[in-house]
Amino acid sequence: EVQLQASGGGLVQAGGSLRLSCAASGFTSDNYAIGWFRQAPGKGREGVACIDYRHSTLYSTYYEDSVKGRFTVSSDNAKNMYYLQMNTLEPEDTAVYYCAADESVFPKLQIMCRPDFFDDWGQGTQVTVSS
């Protein structure tokens, strides 16, 4: 089981930026996926961005349409740290953000960037964007 801890949320004005961090540990495979998800009040959890790693090397990324061009994922694999840089934030981005991991190959990332494909979850971090 991969342990994850997300941090970096906060309150920001529309147009501002935040960087979320996810510390991960406990990997037993070098093929895995990292997912960033969010859940707004009264809504289901949705995939924001997912990254497929093969032999610990970034293989592919997926961004949900509403965040393309605004959010960017990155990582420091040596430290097992994963990041979600969020720019030009909008009030609609307000949600609890989660990082998740699954030690599987994700051949169709755009389809598999969904909560039910991920086994391991960190606690969420609140992001609030004021208008």
Closest among 49, 130, 61 to 97, alpha carbons compared: 49
Mean pLDDT throughout 94-117?
A: 94
Closest among 22, 20, 18, 117 to 77, alpha carbons compared: 22
Tell me the per-residue pLDDT of 70-95, one tens digit each, with 9 for 90 and over.
999 999 988 999 999 999 999 999 99
pLDDT of residue 78: 85
Model confidence at 105: pLDDT above 90: no
pLDDT of residue 64: 96
pLDDT of residue 65: 96
pLDDT of residue 107: 87
Q: For the chain, give the percent of residues with pLDDT over 90.
A: 92
The per-residue pLDDT of the chain, averaged, comes to 95
Q: Where does the pLDDT of residue 129 fall: very low under 50, low under 70, confident under 90, or very high at 90 and above?
A: very high
DSSP 47-96: EEEEEEEETTEEEEEEE-GGGTTTEEEEEEGGGTEEEEEE-S--GGG-EE
**Pairing between β-strand 10-13 and β-strand 125-130 as defined by DSSP bridges:** parallel
Mean pLDDT throughout 15-20?
A: 98
How far is it, in rounded angstroms, from Cα 110 to Cα 74? 18
